[in-house]
Structure formats: structure tokens, C-alpha cells
């Protein structure tokens, strides 16, 4: 029995439909949203050098955050400790747990709380207070980090071809300063952000991944192993 061969148009339509089904199937399986990081330096004292941190020692203070942020504050502190210790190159370094243990042992926890509270209210460092902490910890520099709330938002747009599309954005922002306990001055200041943008076909990575990205960006900038140009070349996009 004679059978007609499919024409070229029908073949193309069949291939297009098959390809469309494959693409949809892949999208439906879901993939992790990519996390982008960006960091910057807003101030550095002319007399300060990252090498001073290794020479004179550095103590990481507990990350400061608002109420209800304990689950975000601690992971960021742990990530900062890990990346800072790696870049210290053997210099004296105390992570935030060691810092608090040493201050509690020497009955300086109240002085520490007063120092942080006063600074957050007035942006003034009390030289006597930071000097006392530095002597107690055996370091010259303190690393102060403030965490902005980790947040996720969703927006919806309309596309004539795909209909309604939703975009989910997650971000964490951290602000950092280095305090010189010998002078009572801020000698370095920087910030870092980690952000992802996804849709209904992607899922967020754990918060720890955002914390690690932000921490690595901050410490790389602090120790001078990352430049503004490298940051731009890595991102290829604006936040």
C-alpha cells in the first residue's frame, strides 16, 4: 500500500514540538539560582595596610544584626572567620567565639556591649574602651561587621509570548569596619552583597551559600586580593 512521505513543513513542526517538550521538561526539573557577589571599599586610612593585620593581630567581633536575625548572624560570622583565617597567613587571629570567650573570661562583656551600643547610636568609638579590649585580646585591630536583614522578594511581569512570569530575588548585605585599638580610629571600611534572581523553575540555595559569598567578598577586599575591576569583570551586571 502506498504511503505519502511527510512534507518538509510537517517535519519541522514535529521537531519543533519535540524540542519544546524537551526544554519544558528540563525547566520543570528545576535548578539552583546563581548567586552573584559584589564588594567595595569606601574608606582606608592612608597609614593602614592589610599587612598590619598579620603583624599586629586581628579579632573578629560577633556580627551585629537586628532582632530575629540569630539564624543569619552566626553563619555569616563563621564564614567570615574561615575566610579571614585563611588570608591571615599565620598572624594572630581570634574568631568571634574566641573573642567573646576571652572577654567573658576577663569580665569585659559589659564593656564590650557598652562600646557596641554607643557606637551604633553615635558612630563614635571610645578610645579607652577599644584600647582596653585590644589589650585583653592581645591584638591591635578589631573587625566589626553589621548584617542587614536577609530578604526575599517576588515580582510578577507579563510577557506576550510566555504570559505571567514571576521573579524571586534573594539578597544579603554586610557592612564591615576595622577598628585600630591603639588610636581608637576606623582605619578601613567596606561592604559586600550576595544576591540571586530566579523564577518558578529555580530554587534558592541555602542561606549559608549567600553568607559565604558575602564573607569571601569582604575579606578578599580587606586583604587586597580583589580589585574593583576584578569585581566588575566577575559580575558582568549591576546589582
Beta-bridged to residue 93, according to DSSP, are 58
Residue at 178 is within a domain: yes
Residue at 22 is within a domain: no
Residue at 151 is within a domain: yes
Least confident of 80-94, 114-128, 222-236: 222-236
Q: What is the DSSP secondary structure assignment for residue 47, as one 8-state letter?
A: T
Which of 183, 105, 185, 114 lies closest to 137 in space, CA to CA?
105
187: CATH: 3.30.160
SS3 string, 129-191, reads HHHHHHHHHCCCEEEEEEECCCEEEEEEEEECCCEEEEEEEEEEEEEEEEEECCCCEEEEEEE
Copy the grid coordinates of residue 140.
591591635
Q: Which helix (H) or strand (E) holds 203?
A: strand 202-203
Residue at 4 is within a domain: no
Answer whether residue 24 shows pLDDT above 80: no
Res 214: pLDDT: 95
CA–CA distance, 143 with 53 (Å, rounded to integer): 10
Answer whether residue 124 shows pLDDT above 90: yes
Residue at 5 is within a domain: no
pTM given for the model: 0.79
pLDDT averaged over every residue in the chain: 83
Helices 109-122 and 127-137 meet at what angle, rounded to 10? 140
CA–CA distance, 85 with 190 (Å, rounded to integer): 18
Residue at 72 is within a domain: yes
Range of the structural domain that residue 96 is part of: 33-234
- Residue with the bigger pLDDT between 81 and 70: it is 81
- Residue with the bigger pLDDT between 235 and 93: it is 93
> Whose grid coordinates read 567581633?
61
Residue at 89 is within a domain: yes
Within 13 Å, how many C-alpha atoms sit on residue 20's CB side? 7
CA–CA distance, 227 with 55 (Å, rounded to integer): 23
- When divided into structural domains, the chain yields a total of 1
Tens-place pLDDT, residues 51-61: 999 999 999 99
Which of 98, 72, 66 lies closest to 85 in space, CA to CA?
98
Residue at 8 is within a domain: no
Tens-place pLDDT, residues 156-210: 666 665 656 667 788 899 999 999 999 999 999 999 999 987 766 666 788 899 9
Amino acid at each position: 500500500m502506498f504511503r505519502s512521505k511527510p512534507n518538509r513543513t510537517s517535519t519541522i513542526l514535529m521537531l519543533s514540538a519535540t524540542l519544546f517538550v524537551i526544554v519544558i521538561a528540563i525547566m520543570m526539573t528545576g535548578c539552583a539560582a546563581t548567586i552573584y557577589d559584589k564588594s567595595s571599599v569606601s574608606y582606608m586610612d592612608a597609614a593602614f595596610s592589610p599587612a598590619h593585620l598579620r603583624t599586629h593581630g586581628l579579632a573578629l567581633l560577633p556580627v551585629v544584626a537586628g532582632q530575629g536575625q540569630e539564624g543569619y548572624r552566626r553563619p555569616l560570622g563563621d564564614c567570615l572567620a574561615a575566610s579571614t583565617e585563611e588570608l591571615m597567613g599565620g598572624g594572630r587571629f581570634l574568631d568571634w567565639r574566641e573573642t567573646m570567650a576571652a572577654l567573658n573570661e576577663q569580665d569585659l562583656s559589659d564593656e564590650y556591649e557598652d562600646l557596641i551600643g554607643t557606637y551604633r547610636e553615635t558612630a563614635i568609638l571610645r578610645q579607652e574602651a577599644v584600647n582596653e579590649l585590644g589589650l585583653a585580646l592581645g591584638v591591635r585591630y578589631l573587625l566589626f561587621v553589621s548584617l542587614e536583614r536577609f530578604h526575599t522578594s517576588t515580582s510578577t511581569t507579563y510577557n506576550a509570548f510566555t504570559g505571567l512570569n514571576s521573579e524571586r530575588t534573594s539578597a544579603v548585605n554586610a557592612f564591615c569596619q576595622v577598628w585600630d585599638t591603639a588610636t581608637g580610629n576606623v582605619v578601613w571600611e567596606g561592604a559586600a552583597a550576595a544576591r540571586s534572581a530566579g523564577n518558578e523553575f529555580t530554587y534558592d540555595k541555602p542561606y549559608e551559600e549567600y553568607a559565604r559569598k558575602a564573607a569571601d567578598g569582604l575579606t578578599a577586599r580587606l586583604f587586597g586580593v580583589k580589585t574593583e575591576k576584578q569585581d566588575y569583570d566577575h559580575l558582568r551586571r549591576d546589582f
